[in-house]
């Protein structure tokens, strides 16, 4: 998958102050409080862990494969986006650096989905993508849940060290149970680059509880200090495919990008990943949550099959 920056042909609606925060807090209330779940501190050290229904953290096998030897689904750079090749709405920091992102995907309406390349139903990815960075602007980090691809699913952190060379990446992933989309599931990916480390947390929240997976890595290519934009949503599973949602479907995503020091940030579409979906953006809300030592820009996007 790859996200890029550009202009989305749609009506941008910036909310009154607090609207996005209210949406975000409402979702968190549904996900965490009503379902009796509180997100816990993840384990430390490099590797992968799993917690099922709030149980203890259990060490898992972290698979690490160089792109030239990797045979799984490939998330690659491209010109994909929401509603076709329109880019993916995200957050851009014109000053300051991002060090932590929480992205949530949920549905207020859901009737079905299939992947345009595999043709299989319930095959998709939820992605969080950094900007390109490095001296040659050729490095990039992706966090993603790739669901039901070749009958298996994985939570992955992909480190690109040269986006201009096919296979010039390291895939760090853990296999997870296949998830099923509905109006009762919240998919939350938390991504961070701080203290010399990369971390990805996948949190699947349903009325019956929460299952979590954590991948901890060394930040080998130095995203920390160079993270200026983030974007993501639910898209095709891999190889530039499209998540084709049936009508009616309405998706809601929240991206909360935070920094330890003041930053100037705003909503912006990006062109970084090749995957797409067929949803049209219906509304966009933005809001700031700033406290001493914590600066967060909140973006909420509602997309639907029903928008003309």
- The mean-pLDDT minimum among 104-108, 142-146, 207-211, 303-307 falls in 303-307
Domains defined along the chain, listed by start: 75-304 (2.60.120.200)
HEC letters along the chain: CCEECCCCCCCCCCCCCCHHHHHHHHHHHHHHHCCCCCCCCCCCCCEEEEEECCCCCEEECCEEEECCCCCCCCCCECCCEECCCCEEEEEEEEECCCCEEEEEEEEEECCCEEECCCCCECCEEEEEEECCECCCCCEEEEEEEEEEECCEEEEEEEEECCCCCCCCEEEEEEEECCCCCCCCCEEEEEEEEECCEEEEEEEEEECCEEEEEEEEEECCCCCCCCCCEEECCEECCCCCCEEEECCCCEEEEEEEEEECCCCEEEEEEEEEECCEECCEEEEEEEEEEEECCEEEEEEEEEEECCCC
Segment 118-147 shows an average pLDDT of 97
Rounded to 5 degrees, what are φ and ψ at 103?
-120, 135
- The mean-pLDDT minimum among 13-27, 40-54, 211-225 falls in 13-27
Half-sphere exposure of 160 (CA within 13 A, CB side): 28
Residue 49, pLDDT above cutoff 80: yes
Question: What pLDDT score does 175 carry?
Answer: 97
pLDDT band of residue 158 (cuts 50, 70, 90) is: very high
Average pLDDT of the chain, as a whole number: 87
Question: What pLDDT score does 110 carry?
Answer: 97
Q: Tens digits of per-residue pLDDT, 87-124?
A: 999 999 999 999 999 999 999 999 999 999 999 999 99
Segment 185-206 shows an average pLDDT of 97
Higher per-residue pLDDT: 292 or 304: 304
Q: Tens digits of per-residue pLDDT, 9-42?
A: 222 333 332 333 333 343 343 333 333 445 678 8
| Token digits of residue 46 | 């490099």
pLDDT band of residue 141 (cuts 50, 70, 90) is: very high
């Amino acid at each position: 998958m790859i996200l890029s920056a550009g202009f989305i042909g749609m009506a941008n609606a910036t909310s009154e102050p607090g609207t996005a925060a209210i949406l975000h807090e409402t979702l968190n209330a549904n996900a965490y409080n009503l379902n009796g779940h509180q997100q816990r501190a993840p384990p430390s050290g490099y590797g992968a862990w799993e917690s099922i229904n709030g149980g203890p953290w259990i060490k898992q096998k972290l698979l690490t494969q160089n792109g030239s030897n990797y045979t799984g689904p490939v998330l690659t750079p491209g010109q994909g986006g929401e509603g076709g090749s329109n880019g993916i709405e995200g957050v851009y920091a014109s000053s300051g650096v991002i060090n932590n992102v929480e992205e949530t995907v949920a549905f207020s309406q859901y009737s079905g989905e299939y992947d345009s390349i595999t043709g299989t139903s319930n095959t998709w990815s939820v992605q969080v993508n950094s900007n390109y960075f490095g001296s040659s602007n050729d490095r990039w980090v992706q966090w993603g849940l790739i669901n039901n691809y070749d009958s298996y699913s994985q939570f992955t952190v992909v480190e690109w060290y040269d986006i201009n060379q096919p296979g010039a990446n390291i895939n760090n992933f853990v296999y997870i149970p296949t998830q099923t989309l509905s109006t009762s599931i919240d998919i939350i990916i938390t991504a961070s680059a701080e203290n010399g480390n990369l971390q990805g947390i996948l949190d699947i929240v349903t009325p019956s509880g929460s299952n979590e997976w954590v991948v901890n890595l060394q930040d080998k290519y130095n995203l920390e200090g160079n993270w200026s934009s983030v974007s993501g949503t639910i898209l095709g599973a891999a190889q530039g495919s499209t998540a084709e949602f049936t009508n009616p479907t309405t998706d809601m995503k929240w991206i909360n990008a935070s920094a330890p020091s003041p930053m100037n940030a705003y909503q912006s579409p990006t062109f970084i990943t090749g995957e797409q979906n067929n949803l049209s953006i219906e509304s966009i809300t933005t809001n700031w949550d700033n406290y001493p030592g914590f600066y967060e820009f909140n973006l909420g996007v509602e997309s639907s099959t029903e928008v003309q």
